[in-house]
Amino acid sequence: MRRVVGIDVGGTFTDLLLYETEADTGRVALAKIPTTIANQAKGVLAAIDATGTSASAIDLIIHGTTATTNAVLERKLAKVGLITTRGFRDTLEVGRRTRPKPYGMTGTFEPLVPRDLRLEVAERMNAQGEVVIPLDETELRAAIERLKGLGCEALVIHFLHSYANPAHEQAAGRIALQMWPNAYVTMGHALLSEFREYERGTTASVNAAVQPVLDRYVRLLQTELEKKSFGRDLLVMNGNGGTVSARLVAREAAKTIMSGPASGVMAAAETLRQSGVANAITYDMGGTSTDVALIHGGVPEVSSELTIDYGLPIHVPMVDVRTVGAGGGSIASINAAGMLQVGPQSAGSEPGPICYARGGEAPTITDANLVLGRLDPKRLHAVKNPVSVEHVRAIFEAKLAKPLGLSVEAAAAAVIRLANAHMSGAIRMVSLSRGYDPRDFSLFAFGGAGPLHAVALARELGIPEVLVPARPGLTNALGCLVADLRQDFVNTLNVPLDQADISEVQRILNDQRARGMAVNAAEQNEIVETIVLHGADMQFRGQTHLIRVNLPSADVSREEIQKIFETAYFNRFQVHLPEIRAVLVNLVTSVVGKRRTFPISALLDASDRASALDSAIIGERKLYAGGAWHTATIFDRAKLPLEARFAGPAVIQQIDATTVVEPGASVLVDKVGNLRITVGSASE
């Protein structure tokens, strides 16, 4: 018997998936409990208890945590000191000449390390990595002492051009580690060896600021688990969609930021793979935000240029998840010009939509779904002191329908339609900015509200098919269960390709590979196969935007690189530029330790499935779509037989989500249990 647990701690819920295998049979257990904000470990243990399995019987736990993301967003961070090159104390504070929004002259920014904790020392490298001014070690020691004296818990050493030559940072790091009371010393080049001093320095500072937070949390969790006699491996999710051993995770703590959304995308990629779908846009709509990502050729798109908050870029490779809008709590209103608007204001989760009965009085997308029968009115009774549908309708009547001269239904439908129009615009921008046409993709819908809107949204986008996974509300935990061990490396060269020292290129790629293999070696028993992916970020001389190309091996030749780049550039922009030189900017390597696969079909218990489709029907209700009321068949998701087909209007209910199948759309339950919805067109 082998038991593997994926557990994701989100902002609201802690989700768990347990997979038990013996010989060739498998069993899945689920748990969903409220997150214990003050001490997340408590919730983790409670979730394990909820499965009825003891921690001592578990072989492996893969854990996704929001500890670091929340710490940054709420600025609950360790006190960090920074030592930098003379003349560059303010790099983190001046940034790169921006403002929070294109229009509006207001907004504030506080750097993670305040100016009085940023000290300068004499040292300087030039862009070629040659020493211009040697490191003044006496000054360095004094600076370290001073920051210790000021009560800093973590230290950043960030020198100019350290990506070209890290010798000064390494020397300073050695001295700092002898003097610093703990191991929380981050060197700028160690996390990413990439040029651009503001982005690299900010990334290093974020790392230092969350390192103690994550380290304390992971130690606490391990101690608590040991008390329950758990003695096996604990892996932690990273934002690149891979995992790393808990023993190593704190060293590069910044990499765990945004790991929650990343694990959702990893779950999507594996689910799609087992359904035989290669290209999809993931669409995760919750109560407060909507995130999207692209999966192309089975591989989630990755970016090294994400920003978690204004002025806080984190340049480590992460699954490229973008927040494109608000969630179900978005408020509908009418502006001074009499135009209907949805968002940007949101009711959030407090007070939340009117139907949550927590005092919300503003009509939201969720309320519109209720008015239209898309959400089950009976579920209102799940809350304390529920409001009635009539109460929600009365507010829609007064605030939207009457001023617009519409019926209540038409006003509610307009709210959803306009929200979808905005959402589809934002999704188009995300895919177009990466050079893709969304119409070549499927829409993978998850999160509490994703499946509710996906069919209508897909129609808006011209996407032919929607895929709804078995457990739309447990996707992050599934991501933990299916994630591989993954290490990513970036080194900046920034030289014209025809001047590059190819033996040095090959040496760097081989070194990146070796470093990745060394980290993964700690978990060798989890890995069934290791895949090494090499690539390069390139551009034509004079350009600033980069194109990522895949390289066939570490021992690639100059001619091969040139040809690969020219082909990639043409494919993206349809332009040949033979007269302009190519520049090799970054070398990148990913070392992926593939773990045993998890059968997606196990997510739904086969014994629950009905033998005939009719037995999965649990009723019918009125559903407003295309300007008229329809009678929609209600299905119980758990009972749907594999390979079943049926047509909309229909609603598929399950504990964690509701899927609306609009009139004109049709559903196939595929062989692994995913809903494949051909969206068709609205029959008006």
Partner 1 sequence: MSRIDPLTLAVIQASLAQVCNEMDIAFSRSAFSPVIAEADDRSSGIYDKETGALISQGEFGLPVFVGTMQYSTAEILRLIREGKAGAPRPGDIYIVNDPYLGGTHLMDVRFALPFYYQGELFCWLQNTGHWPDVGGMVPGGFSAKATEVEQEGLRLPPVKLFKQGVMDPEIYAIICSNIRVADQRIGDIKAQAAALKVGEKRLTELLDRYGRDTVTAAIAEIRQRAAKLMRAHIATIPDGVYRSEAFVDSDGVVNEPLKIALAVTKQGDTLTFDFAGSSPPCRGPMNSVVATTYSSVYLAMRHIFPDTPLNSGVFEPLVIKRPEGTFLDARYPRPVSGCAAEVSQRIAEAVFLALVQAIPDKVTAAPAGSSGNFALGGTDPAKGTSYVMYQISGGGYGGNADHDGLTNGCSTIGISKTAPVEVMEQYYPVLFRRFGMHEGSAGAGLHRGGFGVHYEVELLRGEARASFVMDHGRFGPPGAQGGREGGRNVVRIHRDGAVLTPEHLSKDQDIPLKRGDRVEVLTPGGGGYGDPLQRDPAIVARDVGRGYYTPEAAATLFGVALDGHGAVDAARTAALRAGRA
Count CB-CB contacts under 10 A for residue 115: 12
The one segment of 64-72, 349-357, 515-523, 540-548 that binds partner 1 by CB under 8 A: 540-548
Q: How far is CA 535 from CA 109, 306, 320, 329, in A?
A: 35, 19, 17, 41
List the one residue from 79, 141, 196, 247 that touches partner 1 (CB under 8 A). Answer: 196
Q: How far is CA 552 from CA 243, 354, 423, 557, in A?
A: 24, 55, 37, 10
The residue among 10, 64, 53 whose CA lies nearest residue 30 is: 53
- Residue 269 or 457: which CB sits closer to partner 1? 457
Count CB-CB contacts under 10 A for residue 518: 11
| Phi, psi dihedral angles at 573 (to 5 degrees) | -115, -5
Residues 625-684 that bind partner 1 (CB under 8 A): none
Residues 433-452 that bind partner 1 (CB under 8 A): 433, 435
**Cα angle 92-93-95, degrees, rounded to a multiple of 5:** 75
- Residue 399 or 428: which CB sits closer to partner 1? 428
Residues in the chain: 684
Structure token pair of residue 271? 């689910």
From the CB of 684, what's the least distance to partner 1, in Å?
Answer: 13
The residue among 670, 609, 680 whose CA lies nearest residue 648 is: 680
From the CB of 123, what's the least distance to partner 1, in Å?
Answer: 13
**Is residue 625 within 8 Å of 649, Cβ to Cβ?**
yes
Name beta bridge partners: 540: 582
- Residue 90 or 560: which CB sits closer to partner 1? 90
From the CB of 425, what's the least distance to partner 1, in Å?
Answer: 4
From the CB of 6, what's the least distance to partner 1, in Å?
Answer: 37
Reading phi first (left if > 0) and then psi (alpha if -120 to 50, else beta), residue 261 is in: alpha
- Residue 52 or 405: which CB sits closer to partner 1? 405
Residues 472-531 that bind partner 1 (CB under 8 A): 494
- Residue 179 or 546: which CB sits closer to partner 1? 546
| Phi, psi dihedral angles at 525 (to 5 degrees) | -70, -15
Structure token pair of residue 206? 């974020």
Residues 545-564 that bind partner 1 (CB under 8 A): 545
State how far the Cα of 596 lies from the Cα of 2, in Å rounded to an integer.
12
- Residue 107 or 619: which CB sits closer to partner 1? 107
From the CB of 418, what's the least distance to partner 1, in Å?
Answer: 5
- Residue 115 or 174: which CB sits closer to partner 1? 115
Q: How many residues bind partner 1 (CB under 8 A)?
A: 71
List the one residue from 2, 22, 54, 127 that touches partner 1 (CB under 8 A). Answer: 127
The one segment of 125-133, 207-215, 264-272, 592-600 that binds partner 1 by CB under 8 A: 125-133
Residues near 382 by Cβ (< 8 Å), separated by ≥ 6? none
From the CB of 660, what's the least distance to partner 1, in Å?
Answer: 19
From the CB of 573, what's the least distance to partner 1, in Å?
Answer: 5
From the CB of 190, what's the least distance to partner 1, in Å?
Answer: 17
Residues 265-294 that bind partner 1 (CB under 8 A): none
The one segment of 15-23, 350-358, 388-396, 538-546 that binds partner 1 by CB under 8 A: 538-546
- Residue 311 or 648: which CB sits closer to partner 1? 311
Residues 565-624 that bind partner 1 (CB under 8 A): 573, 575, 577, 579-580
Residues 356-395 that bind partner 1 (CB under 8 A): none
- Residue 573 or 629: which CB sits closer to partner 1? 573
| Phi, psi dihedral angles at 96 (to 5 degrees) | -125, 35
Binding mask 402-431 for partner 1 (x = CB under 8 A): --xxx---x--xx--xx--xx--x--xx--
Helix (H) / strand (E) containing 27 = strand 25-34
Residues 149-168 that bind partner 1 (CB under 8 A): 160-161, 163
From the CB of 146, what's the least distance to partner 1, in Å?
Answer: 14
| Phi, psi dihedral angles at 266 (to 5 degrees) | -65, -40
Residues 72-111 that bind partner 1 (CB under 8 A): 86-91, 93-99, 101-109
- Residue 160 or 672: which CB sits closer to partner 1? 160
State how far the Cα of 608 lies from the Cα of 440, in Å rounded to an integer.
35
From the CB of 605, what's the least distance to partner 1, in Å?
Answer: 42
Helix (H) / strand (E) containing 145 = helix 137-149
- Residue 107 or 134: which CB sits closer to partner 1? 107
Residues 335-354 that bind partner 1 (CB under 8 A): 335-341
Count CB-CB contacts under 10 A for residue 478: 29
DSSP symbol at 590 = E
List the one residue from 543, 562, 601, 666 that touches partner 1 (CB under 8 A). Answer: 543
DSSP for 192-255, written as a single string: -B-S-HHHHHHHHHHHHHHHHHHHHHHHHHHHHHHHTT--SEEEEE-TTS-EEEHHHHGGGGGG
From the CB of 27, what's the least distance to partner 1, in Å?
Answer: 48
Q: Are strands 25-34 and 60-64 parallel, antiparallel or unpaired?
A: unpaired
